[in-house]
Amino acid sequence: MLDRLARLDRLDPRWLYGALIGLIVISAYARVPLKVEPSKETRAFYDAIEKLDGTKPVLVMSDWDMGTVGELRAQFIATVRHLFLRNIKFVLVSGNVLGPRFYLEQMDLLSKEYGKQYGKDWVSFGFRLPDPKPISVESLARNFPLHVKTDRYDRPASAYAWLKKVKTAEDWGLVISVVYAEIREFLTYFVEAGRTPYAVGCAAISSTFSYPFFTAGTMSGILIGARGGGEYEQMIARREGRRSGETFGERLLIGQTAGHLLLIVGIILGNVGGYFAKRKKP
Amino acid sequence: MNGAFFGSLVGSLCVIMILSLLWRENKAYRFGEHLLLGLSVGYATVAIWFEYLKPKWLMPLMDGIAARDFSAIAIGIVVFMLGLCWYGGYFKKTEWLMRLVVGIVIGAGAGQVIRLQFTQQMPVLTSSFRSPIMVQNGGVSWWESLNNIVFLTALISVLFFFFFTIDHRHAFPRVAARVGRFWLMVGFGAFFGNTLMTRLSALIERVWYVVDSLFR
């Protein structure tokens, strides 16, 4: 018995990888009613959109691509659903060359679902925030039409009536970034200079750095990784009167929970193995 | 076999090739890695040209030439020349050209950072000045007070941990620094937990993609 327990210390990690992938596959089919209470950060993000009166458009920066689709797609979809539900017009820009390729695919699907039109309800200007970000964001905040030039159909911002009055940071109702890590330049050029609120959707790995800004009140809300996306999708589902647990973000929470449980079991077994391996040594 | 299914099949095979590294280093993984790098660089090059360089630099320059607007032409040429300076670093004789643009970038970057730090960090700094006794609706809010006490303890003790000019052999700074180290560990633990969540999300999404493409 002692030998068997001590052997856990030298367990081939491939068993763990196999078990983790197996659990993830099962979670793809499992329908576990996982009701999650939205966190304070997610509720604040939701409220930031709820507070909008619709007189000013919203600027949404979307950077997610194949590397961050797991965490950020659900956040992006829920954000767009919320904006569509509230009939708030918005502009999409990206700081990632691959960004528009990913978000436009979702936008076409969501526009059809909600009966919204390009140009009337939303516009995409594509990859307009390259590095260095401080210069790009400052330029965007100072003169939006000059910075973005033309949209995906080569039309200038002035071609859309609801964008004619938008020029500087103050002319936006809210700035949202669904990016791997928050874009702090928005705090300087939009929150501090333009008094425009800023809400963030980011990967969990980067959220640790965003918390001080949220507690300080300069960030209006944060969606933290897959958890934030799942919670937000549940809030939107409840608002729409849909059955929750069907969307990608919500299902991802089941996979996450299963994965975390396996890791906790792995940590316990590894420590038990380590303890008995040490005891065995003379 | 329709196009969408073929696309998902290729995508799934690529995912399996990359994940095969978990088993051991192999040629399929190497092939997948090179394929990914090649595709990403190729896509990024084309996208940067069509999404940024063409509309932001070439078109204004061409419009300037067509309208005989000399300021637009001058800006286009100067920007192009400065951009070319980056390639000076590849030759010994022209290395100074790169230093010229590096100097501009560092100078502008430093100026930006100072301004950004001030506007971003000042609200965070002022929000950390919290009272250990919170009064709400005419009475003491014990929960908020406890929150603030924990926050202030963590803040002050972590600051003590980084005071290297104070002799840590004395009891107070030593204990304070130890408490600070504890809070730092809590912070690193939270950071690691979040890292794990990000990696797991990426894995779940990819595994589901393969399952959806092949078995549904």
A103 pLDDT higher than 90 = yes
Q: Does A28 touch chain B (CB under 8 A)?
A: yes
Provide the residue range defining the domain that includes B210: 140-216
Report the distance separating Cα B86 and Cα B100, nearest Å: 9
Please tell me the number of Cα atoms within 13 Å of A140 on its side-chain side.
28
DSSP reduced 3-state for B91: coil
- Nearest chain B Cα distance for residue A107, angstroms: 19
Is the four-CA dihedral B44, B109, A225, A122 of positive or negative sign? negative
What gap in Å lies between CA B15 and CA B22, rounded to an integer?
12
Mean pLDDT of A18-23: 90
Task: Tell whether B186 is covered by a domain.
Answer: yes
| Residue of B203, B204, B208 to mutate, interface with A, max A Cβ within 10 Å | B204
Tell me which residues of chain A, numbers 80 to 119, contact chain B at a CB-CB cutoff of 8 Å: 97-98, 100
Domain end (from B11, B26, B51): B51
CA distances from A147 to A94, A151, A167, A168 (A): 13, 11, 10, 11
Q: What is the pLDDT of residue B184?
A: 94
Residues of chain A with C-beta less than 8 angstroms from the C-beta of B55 = 149-150
| Tens of pLDDT, residues B4-46 | 788 888 888 998 999 899 888 999 999 999 998 999 899 888 8
Contact A204 B201 (CB under 8 A): yes
Q: State the helix-helix crossing angle for B3-19 and B27-48, rounded to 10 degrees.
A: 120
* Tokens linked to A280: 């065995």
Domain presence at residue B128: no
Q: Does A255 touch chain B (CB under 8 A)?
A: yes
Whether pLDDT at A128 is above 80: yes
Cα–Cα distances (Å) from A52 to A82, A175, A210, A269, in that order, read 11, 11, 23, 50
- Distance CA(A24)–CA(A28), nearest Å, equals 6
pLDDT score of A150: 86
Mutation target for A interface from B127, B201, B205: give the one with most A CBs within 10 A.
B201
Mind telling me how many Å the CA of A92 is from chain B's nearest CA? Answer: 14
Please say whether the dihedral angle defined by the alpha carbons of residues B33, A255, A251 and B199, taken in this order, is positive or negative: negative
Cα(A51)–Cα(A113) distance, rounded to whole angstroms? 24
Position B1 confidence tier, pLDDT thresholds 50, 70, 90: low
Nearest CA to B59 out of B74, B76, B47 is that of B76
Q: Give the pLDDT band of residue B169 (cuts 50, 70, 90).
A: confident
ipTM over 0.90 threshold: no
Cβ–Cβ contact A203 with B under 8 A: yes
Distance between start and end Cα atoms, chain B: 15
Number of structural domains chain B divides into: 2
Q: What is the mean pLDDT of residues B146-164?
A: 90
A contacts of B51 (beta carbons < 8 Å): 97, 100, 126-128
With a CB cutoff of 8 Å and minimum separation 6, the contacts of B44 are A97, A98
Query: Does B40 fall in a domain?
Result: yes
**Is residue B95 within 8 Å of residue B88, measured between CB atoms?**
yes
What DSSP string runs through A26-79? Answer: HHHH-------PPPHHHHHHHHHHHT--SSS-EEEEE---TTTHHHHHHHHHHH
Judge contact between A179 and A168, C-beta under 8 A. no
Q: How far apart are CA A78 and CA A81, in angstroms?
A: 5
CB < 8 Å to B54, chain A: none
Does the pLDDT at position A87 exceed 70?
yes
**φ and ψ at residue B205, rounded to 5 degrees:** -60, -45
In a domain, B29, yes or no: yes
**Which of the residue ranges A162-171, A241-250, B61-70, B143-152 would you say has the lowest mean pLDDT?**
A241-250
pTM summary value: 0.84
Contacts of A215 in chain B (CB under 8 A): 124, 127
Q: Give the span between the Cα atoms of B46 and B142, in whole angstroms.
A: 59
CA distance A235 to A42: 9
Q: Which residues of B touch A (CB under 8 A)?
A: 19, 22-23, 43-44, 47-48, 51-52, 55-56, 59, 105, 108-109, 112-113, 115-116, 119-120, 123-124, 126-127, 187, 190-191, 194-208, 211-212
Q: What tokens appear for A121 in the block?
A: 């309800």
Q: How confident is the model at residue B216 (pLDDT cuts 50, 70, 90)?
A: low
pLDDT of residue A43: 95
For residue B62, give both structure tokens: 């061409």
Using an 8 Å Cβ cutoff, are A38 and A223 in contact? no
What percentage of residues in chain A have a pLDDT greater than 70? 97
Give me the percent of chain A exceeding a pLDDT of 90.
Answer: 44
Task: Quote the mean pLDDT of chain B.
Answer: 88
| B192: in domain | yes
**Averaged pLDDT for residues B132-141:** 85
- What's the gap in Å between the CA of B7 and the closest CA on chain A? 15
Q: Do A71 and B115 touch (CB under 8 A)?
A: no
Residue B193 tokens read as: 């937990």
| Separation between Cα atoms, residue A106 and residue A83, nearest integer Å | 14
Q: Residue B38 falls within a domain, yes or no?
A: yes
Q: Is the pLDDT of residue B89 over 80?
A: yes
Nearest CA of chain B to the CA of A11: how many Å? 14
In the predicted model, what is the mean pLDDT of residues A245-252? 75
* B102 found inside a domain: no
Confidence of residue A132 (pLDDT cuts 50, 70, 90): confident
Best residue of A29, A191, A218, A263 to probe chain B, by most B CBs closer than 10 Å: A218
State yes or no: pLDDT of B135 exceeds 80.
yes
Question: Residue A48: CB partners within 8 Å, gap ≥ 6?
Answer: A174, A197, A199, A220, A221
Instruction: Please report the pLDDT score of residue A76 as a whole number.
Output: 94
Tokens representing residue B172 in the block: 């107070």
In a domain, B108, yes or no: no
Residue identified by tokens 């516009």 is A123
**Residue entry with tokens 């949404």:** A60
The residue with greater pLDDT, B193 or A241, is: B193
| Confidence at residue A173, expressed as pLDDT on a 0 to 100 scale | 93
Per the CB < 8 A criterion, the answer to whether A71 and B207 are in contact is no
Pick from A16, A41, A71 the residue to mutate for testing the B interface (most B CBs within 10 Å): A71
